[in-house]
Amino acid sequence: MQTHNLGYPRIGAHRELKKACENYWSGKISQADLLDTARQIRSENWKLQKESGIDLIPVNDFSLYDQVLDMSLMVGAIPKRFQALLKQGISPTDLYFAMARGYQKDGLDVVAMEMTKWFDTNYHYIVPEFYENQTFTKTSNKVVEEYKEAKAMGIPAKPVLIGPVSYLLLGKEKGASFDKLELLSSLLPVYLEILKALQQEGANWVQLDEPLLGMDLQDKDNRAFEYAYKVIRDTFPELKILLATYFEGIQHNLKTAVNLPVCALHLDLVRRTQQLEEVMENLPEKTTLSLGVVDGRNIWRNDYEQSLGLINQAVQKLGDGRVFIAPSCSLLHVPYDLALEKDQSADLTEVRQWLAFARQKIDEVVTLKQLATKVGTEEVEAKLRANQKAVESRKVSELIHNSKVKERLKAALTEDAERRNPFAVRKVKQAEALNLNIYPTTTIGSFPQTKEVRRWRRQHKKGELSADAYNQLIEEETEKAIRWQEEVGLDVLVHGEFERNDMVEYFGEQLEGFVFTRYGWVQSYGSRCVKPPIIFGDVSRPEAMTVKWATFAQSLTDKLVKGMLTGPVTILQWSFVRNDQPRAETCRQIAYAIRDEVSDLENHGIKVIQIDEPALREGLPLLRKHWEHYLDWAVSAFRVSASGVQDKTQIHTHMCYSEFNDIIRHIAAMDADVISIETSRSQMELLDAFADFQYPNEIGPGVYDIHSPRIPTSEEMITLLRKATSVLPAEQLWVNPDCGLKTRGWQETREALKRMVEAATGMRELVSDTAL
């Protein structure tokens, strides 16, 4: 039995890589310094895993920016537009960063490659670009260099590469229409070249990541897998290939997956425990099975008894020699080390006994092997007992289990997810209560979070600014925002969200059942890291969270001020979620907490309330067959949060992603009175889905792109609004930007919104002209 790891976090325990990259980009440190930091992080990671007793340690899991981009460089998939940089003699590292971030210097303006979410994680990868008849050449020696580096340190290293088929399937065809899989035969020779170099350097095991094997595949994809792995096996009969699948089970591709000619197959047994049995039934005689039993996606401590059950089951069937133990996937998706959390809040003190970060997960893998093979008995048995105790305590802890919350949810009624009357009825009452213009104008919620605002918050947190002084400053900022919105003539105002650090953290900090770490950073993309809250227990709302700021803002003006909340699905999606009950249940708990907040806002005179759900779509399961179930509970959670109010209270929601077609039915089922969506970048094309579906409620299609500093003219916005009006009745339309403005500066925000109000006014005139 052997232990191995699929990948370790690489941003550095104290985000050293983030800082080094950003300093390098801004010219503060040299390239040599940056590469030095990188080397140091690698060597620390390797040493730590070796000392912990991992038998096979991943190399090339490190990346300066992204492992898929690394792969693109290794195989020379460099889009033509970057050739100009090569001609200028740019260094390989700078070319790499240019591909990730674009290049605007020396009279050149080369756009970056696209970035997208890595499966259902919050990590983003750089999407390979493929062109018809493209050729590949080995362009970077990264994996070989890092292998040599590890070997020189005496690390039992296992190079990791993204497998050729997943690499192609993760990319995007550009230009002429062709099938990227056609490129496999020209791509494979480069893989063979890399594998050969690794073998020559003495590599014994090589891990090829093929997560696509767990996804919905077409026939031709299966054929591609069979072809690629046959070629690899035929060329390197001696090289031990470990084929890694993760994020899903492989049952639906079982035949293809288990029969690929590889030495070992890795399964994500955290995501799909049930696949073990079926895979073992069908596994060819000599294949080793790698059991991903330690959760690489979440921060909970492993349940040793449960994992040992799986390990023993495998050992019995396959024999000790054909079993590997590992995390379920790369540990990239969890924070570095729980031991860093020294100055904990009181909550974390109690909660930490249930947690394990990357460093602890490595120990868990090793301990599981010791337990399974019964070595070091005495000490290891003690670890098992401590583990059982922690697992038991989690089941009954009063910190986690709040009987009031559980009772409330048990007593919940189906009506809780229903507004009192259908939209047609509400619409009339809202028109009466709100008395809005046609083409009403509003914004998505946040206004610029300036340096000053962020500084006040930092100082307040550190105790350098008293709560009173801080509140005073935020009040002034809010008042300024209200005055300015009145002046420019917006119809539904917002308070600006100046008091909020982040749209999830702000609520998590006030809800029970959440804890926050200090150093729990996880890479999101490039040098960007996020620190997700941990939902460890039953969620409840001890007191109102936003009423103070909403009513303060409303007290300043006769215009309507919109209350601003984050929805239950988004709060869930951007947190580490407890794994001792279904996600749907946790989401429902959050939904009831938000529902209470909505009622409080209503009771305090707020007539328009927005519940943001930008993460609804990214929660979609990886396999289509699981979509319906997810959408059912997600939509229902939103409805629970939104349905406690009277008909005349107007509920808005906001989503910002670009694909609505395939879930439009569910978006409609959310039954928000108004939805604002991102459409400006697609020139309103996204509205077609709403028009085709005959979406019944009101819609605010974003009329300008807040992600760009460019300010469109009011004519451009009018053009977009006319387009919108050509597919949807004017009475259904709102006028707003496509997302919150917190990342923008005040100057551009003022100008853009002024023009937006002009555009709305223009539209109103147009409508009254045609009416005459």
Residue number with CB closer to ligand GLN (7 or 614): 614
Query: Per CB under 5 A, which region of 84-92, 496-504, 506-514, 734-742 contacts Zn ion?
Result: 734-742
Taking the least distance from each CB to ligand GLN, the nearer of 537 and 563 is 563
Does position 565 interact with Zn ion (CB under 5 A)? The reply is: no
**Would you count residue 739 as binding Zn ion (CB under 5 A)?**
yes
CA-nearest of 602, 501, 506, 504 to 554 is 602
Let me know: does 334 contact 296? Beta carbons within 8 Å: yes
Residue burial 611-637, b: 16+ Cβ < 10 Å; e: rest: bbbbbbbebbeeeeeeeeebbebbbbb
Tell me phi and psi for residue 105, to 5 degrees.
-165, 160
User: Phi, psi at residue 443, to the nearest 5°?
Assistant: -125, 175
Q: Does 66 bind ligand GLN (CB under 6 A)?
A: no
| Cα 566 from Cα 556, distance rounded (Å) | 23
Could you count the other beta carbons within 10 Å of the beta carbon of residue 121? 19
Of the ranges 232-240, 387-395, 733-741, 757-765, which one interacts with Zn ion (CB under 5 A)?
A: 733-741
β-partners of residue 108 are 105
CA distance 650 to 560: 11
495 binds ligand GLN (CB under 6 A): no
Kindly report the three-state secondary structure assignment for every residue of 566-579.
Answer: ECHHHHHHCCEECC
Choose the binding region for ligand GLN from 79-87, 170-178, 324-332, 734-742 (rule: CB under 6 A). Answer: 734-742
Contact pick of 198, 299, 380, 656 for Zn ion (by CB under 5 A): 656
Residues 6+ apart with CB under 8 A from 379: none
* Identity of the residue, 169 or 503, whose beta carbon is nearer to ligand GLN in the bound complex: 503
Question: What is the spatial distance between Cα 274 and Cα 278, in angstroms, rounded to a whole number?
Answer: 8
By the rule CB under 6 A, 701 interacts with ligand GLN: no
State how far the Cα of 48 lies from the Cα of 45, in Å rounded to an integer. 5
Among 445, 532, 702, 737, binds ligand GLN (CB under 6 A): 445
Tally the residues of the chain.
Answer: 772
Q: Are 60 and 147 in contact (CB under 8 A)?
A: yes
Q: Does 741 bind Zn ion (CB under 5 A)?
A: no
Q: How many angstroms separate the Cα of 303 from the Cα of each of 247, 308, 595, 693?
A: 19, 9, 34, 47
Give min distance, CB of 478 to ligand GLN, in A: 14
Q: Which does 100 bind (CB under 5 to 8 A by kind): Zn ion, ligand GLN, none?
A: none
Q: Tell me which of 69, 276, 444, 756 binds ligand GLN, using CB under 6 A.
A: 444
Nearest to 733 by CA among 752, 754, 717: 717
Q: Binding to ligand GLN (CB under 6 A): which residues in 111-170?
A: none
Q: Does 331 bind ligand GLN (CB under 6 A)?
A: no
State yes or no: is 707 an active-site residue: yes
Binding mask 638-657 for ligand GLN (x = CB under 6 A): ----------------x-x-
503 near ligand GLN (CB under 6 A): yes
Q: Pattern 139-168, binding to Zn ion, x per CB under 5 A? A: ------------------------------
Report the C-alpha gap between 578 and 573 in whole angstroms.
12
Q: Measured from the CB of residue 740, what is the shortest distance to Zn ion in angstroms?
A: 6
Q: 445 contacts which partner out of Zn ion, ligand GLN, none, CB within 5 to 8 A by kind?
A: ligand GLN
Tokens of 354: 């249930």
Which of the residues 252, 401, 460, 707 is marked catalytic?
707
Q: Judged by CB under 5 A, does residue 332 bind Zn ion? A: no
Distance of alpha carbon 155 from alpha carbon 44, whole angstroms: 11
Nearer to ligand GLN, 296 or 445 (CB): 445
Considering CB distances under 5 to 8 angstroms, the limit depending on partner class, which of ligand GLN, Zn ion, none binds residue 446? ligand GLN
Which tokens go with 378? Answer: 């005495």
Distance CA 257, CA 240 (A): 16
Does 740 help bind ligand GLN (rule: CB under 6 A)? yes
Q: Binding of ligand GLN at residue 171 (CB under 6 A)?
A: no
Residue whose beta carbon is closest to Zn ion: 656
How far apart are CB 662 and ligand GLN at their closest, in Å? 20
Query: Least distance in Å: CB of 22 to ligand GLN?
Result: 23
Stretch that binds ligand GLN, among 269-277, 307-315, 343-351, 443-451 (CB under 6 A): 443-451
Position 496 contacts ligand GLN (CB under 6 A): no
Beta bridge partner(s), residue 157 = 57
Q: State in angstroms the smallest separation of the CB of 549 from ligand GLN.
A: 13
Measured from the CB atom, the residue of 537 and 737 that comes closer to Zn ion is: 737
Beta sheet of 560-566, edge-to-edge order: 492-493, 560-566, 608-612, 650-655, 674-677, 698-701
Two tokens, residue 278: 């079926």
Residues 6+ apart with CB under 8 A from 669: 635, 639
The entry of Zn ion, ligand GLN, none near residue 564 (CB within 5 to 8 angstroms by kind) is ligand GLN
Piece in contact with ligand GLN (CB under 6 A), picked from 25-33, 440-448, 459-467, 749-757:
440-448
612 scored as a contact of ligand GLN (CB under 6 A): yes
Evaluate whether 9 touches 358 at the Cβ level (below 8 Å): yes
Tell me whether residue 47 is exposed, middle or buried, using C-beta atoms within 10 angstroms of its C-beta: 0 to 12, 13 to 18, 19 or more.
Answer: middle
Q: Counting contacts by CB under 6 A, is residue 352 touching ligand GLN? A: no
Q: Which residues, other chains included, contact 508 with Cβ-Cβ below 8 Å and sequence gap of 6+? A: 514, 516, 533, 535, 571, 575
Q: What is the DSSP letter of 619?
A: G
Give Cα 573 to chain centroid, integer Å: 8
CB-wise, 444 or 535, nearer to Zn ion?
444
Residue 742's binding partner, choosing from ligand GLN, Zn ion, none, with beta-carbon cut-off 5 to 8 A by kind? ligand GLN
Pick between residue 195 and residue 706 the one whose CB is nearest to ligand GLN.
Answer: 706
CA 106 – CA 90 distance, rounded (Å):
11
Torsion of CA 26, 32, 33, 36, to 10 degrees: 140
Tell me how many residues contact ligand GLN (CB under 6 A).
Answer: 13
Report the residue from 564, 635, 711, 763 that binds ligand GLN according to the rule CB under 6 A.
Answer: 564
Q: Which stretch binds ligand GLN (CB under 6 A): 88-96, 408-416, 459-467, 738-746?
A: 738-746
Number of residues in contact with Zn ion under rule CB under 5 A? 3
- Please report whether residue 617 would count as binding ligand GLN according to CB under 6 A: no
Footprint on this chain of Zn ion (rule: CB under 5 A): 614, 656, 739
Which residues are marked as active site?
A: 707
The contact set with ligand GLN (CB under 6 A) reads 444-446, 497, 503, 564, 612, 614, 654, 656, 739-740, 742
